[in-house]
Amino acid sequence: MIELQAQEIKNYCMSKLGAYEECPFGDVPVCYKLNKKIFAQLYPYEHDYKVTLKCTADAGSFYRTVYPGKVVRGYHCPPVQQPYWNTIYLDDFPDEELLNMIDHAYETVFKSFSKKVQKDILELNGERDGN
């Protein structure tokens, strides 16, 4: 397990189609959004290195079971939202699993949009690729 550095996590989040970075709550967390909806929140402090990711309730429960103590319900969320957010403490967390969880967070937000909005986002890919 090699710990992904904050910059690598930022780069990975920003590589997602239509993703952008904002800091709506101050310096931290650094939020990664798709069409105004947050899919990842990064806390890049060495003493408190974590990321909070959007998830489905089932996936959230699965990850909390597989990684007890490392993956917890979104610590900052009101109880009604907690099943849909996981906070991952990144010290000694498997890089590949984190990337999978970021992919899931992005897809969860993407799928929450109407088909028309999804199509608009996908059309960004054509513009980005020069089509």
Residue 127's pLDDT is what? 54
Question: Cα separation of 70 and 64, whole Å?
Answer: 8
Residue 83's pLDDT is what? 81
Read off the pLDDT of residues 36-94 as tens digits, 9 standing for 90 and up.
999 999 998 888 899 999 999 999 999 999 999 999 988 776 667 778 999 999 988 99
In this structure, is the dihedral angle defined by the CA atoms of residues 100, 63, 51 and 4, taken in order, positive or negative?
Answer: negative
Question: In the predicted model, is pLDDT for residue 2 greater than 60?
Answer: no
DSSP 22: E
Secondary-structure class of domain 6-128 per CATH: alpha beta
Question: Cα separation of 77 and 34, whole Å?
Answer: 19
Please report which confidence band the pLDDT of residue 125 belongs to, taking 50, 70 and 90 as the band edges: low
